[in-house]
A and B are shown apart, each in its own frame.
Chain A
């Protein structure tokens, strides 16, 4: 798209692991005597939709700002697609799209004018800009608003316009700071759908958000950060497994709950059986136990099974367990 984009370091075919999209090594950022980031080591692979989770003031925005080349780290270093964010800042700026946690719009500009301006800043040739603007507007679902003043757009639309701006130079890595904050449920779902579409198109996306239930379904990997330190980084399922203290299965039977409980207690695969509000909470002894054993025991024992569901620990629960709510 852009002639000025420096060539990306080629990835050797023989290598099994691709170049990580983002790598940080002991990334530290001080604000006076306060450490907003303390030795953050993070790796994000290409094609990841990576969730970045932390309390307010945990250091998420500082990390994203350093990756976006807006801030320089006080210590440590960060690489984006092989480029150093300090030494190769210009090259990094061509391959990233940064959406901060504010709109950054001129309310008296028209939608196309705004994108045209940023297209010119990214040195996209004038002849190509019109089509690019039209394409990104279509991608974010704002084609019908191309002639509107930005001030007249709703909050959700302005947020989508921000996303369109990020995409104007076709970056390979998107850094999105709270892209869904303040949006209504429909706008949030639409935004998430756009992000999934972008991931399908091969973009790597780092998204910081407080809406963990959505990140849980959207992201394939997450990082949890607190007081500027990394607490966890890895697949979403990994952190759930790590946090769950034994698998829990909830059971509801039609009659004779006491009999059903006795049947389950007799099995060595079951660690604990507790009645809760007309249901039976069954804690399995081992992580790798197949929960169908519960159904098998009850059906063979003559109990009429109405419902059986496995209790999965959510990202919110994980977050609450691993963090202490401390900020810098």
Chain B
């Protein structure tokens, strides 16, 4: 296998991409942000170092599961789009060679992310309360996650040609792996601990582990505790004095690490390589696929009405029509509407679920909708940038304001139905149904309403400003959610807020709507920036 030229090329290309470096900064930034928030929110105590370690370990896992699939999601699909994958197949390289070379290059990039985070991870060791045993367990879990997250990205990248779809598929696979990984981990560790009980009569480690959950929760919960070291789980339940018990823990975690590596290798060498072998010729869709597409993506009733509606939409707002004309856009709109209806139906049909999980489900659902809006907005002008239509639009008799406004209305319209449904149902539940007296929940609802309104503006700006979709997506989330939240926190801190809002003459806004104020202000700034950049033809090419 002559993989070196391919690896070298991948690394050279990666070295020229600013995204490679900004990803490391994002990873370390996430860790430091988590550490800072923890430091601000908790009092320093004797076990400060141990508790900070848990926070940083969880933040690192989160960064791995979010950033690594993003990093790898476009590595094969981009080659497919640019037509260079077929050129590789004209050389003596085989599909497995290509995929393994890609995996090694991407793995190295992901490894540098972990290396960059290492200094931040060392802080708890300096603070005290954390030993090398925790470091070992954290490394095993991190690397197992890293391999699987990378495999998720590669599998998705081989299957999809389109960058957005590849990213979405990588995200879905990543979520699936996040659920399966703790489950598998719990099963492996429980089996190992059972074996340890059979081998030596000194302990019942499994029982102790189970007791850690106080008799509550499922095996998935146990897996999450084992993977994340939640509440210092490792120190209290796994790491004891002496070598007897610890050696079995090492064996258990070793099996977890080896299994993850084996699983990732199987996914890369077998699944991804086979997919690449199947798709590299870029055959046109088969008659069966075309039939399925026609059958399930065209309206079967009120066809004339829909056609007239779309013509009216085209006449009124051509840029918005462009955003909503495809079947995938319709699928997003109606799919989200169906999801919201299903979630509320399940919640209302099951009183227990409603009482136990209403708040969490709401947040999760709204969060996913926000991510979906961000992905749609950041992919919005990208296609026009890439196929050159943006240049044609800019020489058509449309002002920059009309181009941006038209597209924004298209984006808002695409998500209006599920958003309205979600907000209306949430509001009704808050005001009419019993059991929810949490005063902060109104604030969260208003935050989501503000995000639904402002995120498309910021996403649209980054779809023009950033060449890489993933970079644009991350910047959108950062500028659309994290930045206003941080600014609002800063403004509401007693020593700063007074001065800040007094200067602006908005002292009253401070208590209730400071977050929304910053969201709106940022949206206006990004709108003006976007118009200015379009007027001066400054966009990524």
Question: Contacts A117-B314, A126-B315 hold; do A100 and B397 have CB atoms under 8 A apart?
Answer: no
Q: Which residue of A4, A70, A116, A120 contacts B394 across the interface (Cβ within 8 Å)?
A: A70
Contacts of B277-330 to chain A: CB distance below 8 A: 311, 314-315, 318, 321-322, 325-326
Complex Cα gap A41–B44 (Å)? 74
Q: Is the CB of B389 within 8 A of A106?
A: yes
- What is the CA–CA distance of A112 and B391 in the complex, to the nearest angstrom? 20
Binding stretch for chain B, among A48-56, A90-98, A193-201, A248-256: A90-98
B387 lies within 8 A of A93 (CB): no
Cα distance A123–B399 in the bound complex, in angstroms? 13
Q: Are A121 and B396 in contact (CB under 8 A)?
A: yes
Chain B residues with Cβ below 8 Å from A100 are 388, 391-392
A118 within 8 Å of B (CB atoms): yes
Cβ of A103 within 8 Å of any chain B Cβ, yes or no, is yes
Tell me if B398 and A69 are in contact (CB < 8 A). no
0/1 interface trace, chain A 34-70, chain B, CB 8 Å (1 if under): 0000000000000000000000000000000000111
Determine which of A96, A105, A113, A165 lies in contact with B387 in the assembled complex, contact meaning CB atoms within 8 Å: A105
- In the complex, which residues of chain B have a beta carbon less than 8 angstroms from the beta carbon of A96? 395
Q: Is B537 an interface residue (CB 8 A)?
A: yes
Interface residues on B, range: 20 to 34
Q: How far is the CA of A117 from the CA of B315 in the complex (A)?
A: 9
Q: Is the CB of A104 within 8 A of B318?
A: no
**Distance of A1 from chain B, by nearest CB (Å):** 12
Question: Smallest CB–CB gap between B378 and chain A, Å?
Answer: 19
- State whether the Cβ of A25 lies closer than 8 Å to any Cβ in chain B: no
Given contacts A70-B537, A121-B318, A126-B315, is CB(A104)–CB(B397) below 8 Å? no
Query: What A residues does B315 contact at CB under 8 A?
Result: 120, 126
Interchain CA distance A120-B398 in the complex, whole Å:
11
Q: Give complex CA distance A108, B293 in Å.
A: 13
Q: Does A122 contact B (CB under 8 A)?
A: yes
A120 touches B326 (CB 8 A): no
Are A106 and B387 CB-contacts (below 8 A) given A117-B321, A120-B315?
yes
Q: Which residues from chain B contact A30 at a C-beta distance below 8 Å?
A: none
Q: Say yes or no for A189: interface residue by CB 8 A criterion.
A: no
Indicate whether A70 sits within 8 Å of B395 (C-beta atoms), given known contacts A116-B314, A120-B318: yes
Q: Are A98 and B314 in contact (CB under 8 A)?
A: no
Asked if A71 lies at the interface with its beta carbon under 8 angstroms from chain B, I say: yes
Q: Is the interface of A mostly helix, strand, loop or mixed?
A: loop
Bound CA span A165–B392, Å: 10
CA distance A284 to B322 in the complex (A): 65
Given contacts A70-B537, A100-B391, A104-B391, contact A126 B396 (CB under 8 A): no
Judged by a CB distance under 8 angstroms, whether B179 is at the interface is no
Give how many A residues have a beta carbon under 8 Å from the other chain's beta carbons.
Answer: 29
Q: Which residues of A contact B338 (CB under 8 A)?
A: none
Are the C-beta atoms of A104 and B395 separated by less than 8 Å? Answer: no
Q: Which residues of A contact B93 (CB under 8 A)?
A: none
Q: For B314, what are the chain A residues with a Cβ–Cβ distance below 8 Å?
A: 116-117, 120, 126
Q: Establish whether residues B392 and A118, one from each chain, have CB atoms under 8 Å apart when the complex forms.
A: yes
The smallest C-beta distance from A58 to any residue of chain B, in angstroms, reads 20
Which residue of A is nearest B389, CB measured? Answer: A104
How many angstroms between the C-alpha atoms of A104 and B399 in the bound complex? 19
Cα of A118 to Cα of B314 in the assembled complex, Å: 10
B351 at the interface (CB under 8 A from A): no
* B509 beta carbon closer than 8 Å to chain A: no
Q: How far is the CB of B143 from chain A (nearest CB, A)?
A: 41
Considering the complex, give the chain A residue whose CB is closest to the CB of B403.
A121
- Answer whether A117 and B397 are a contact pair too, CB < 8 Å, given A100-B388, A104-B391: no
A122 to B398, CA, bound (A): 8
Identity of the chain A residue whose Cβ is nearest the Cβ of B284 in the assembled complex: A152
Contact with B along A99-140 (1 / 0, CB 8 A): 010111111110001001110111100100000000000000
Known: A100-B392, A117-B322. A122 touches B397 (CB 8 A): yes
Q: Report if B393 contacts A (CB, 8 A).
A: yes
Interface residues of A (CB under 8 A from B): 4, 68-71, 90, 93-94, 96, 98, 100, 102-109, 113, 116-118, 120-123, 126, 165
Q: Write 29 A-B pairs (CB below 8 A) sorted by A numbering.
A: A69-B394, A70-B394, A71-B537, A90-B397, A90-B399, A93-B396, A98-B395, A100-B391, A100-B392, A104-B387, A104-B388, A104-B391, A104-B392, A105-B387, A105-B389, A106-B383, A106-B387, A106-B389, A107-B387, A108-B326, A117-B314, A117-B318, A118-B392, A118-B396, A120-B315, A120-B318, A121-B397, A121-B398, A122-B396
The chain B residues found within 8 Å of chain A, CB to CB, are 311, 314-315, 318, 321-322, 325-326, 383, 387-389, 391-399, 537
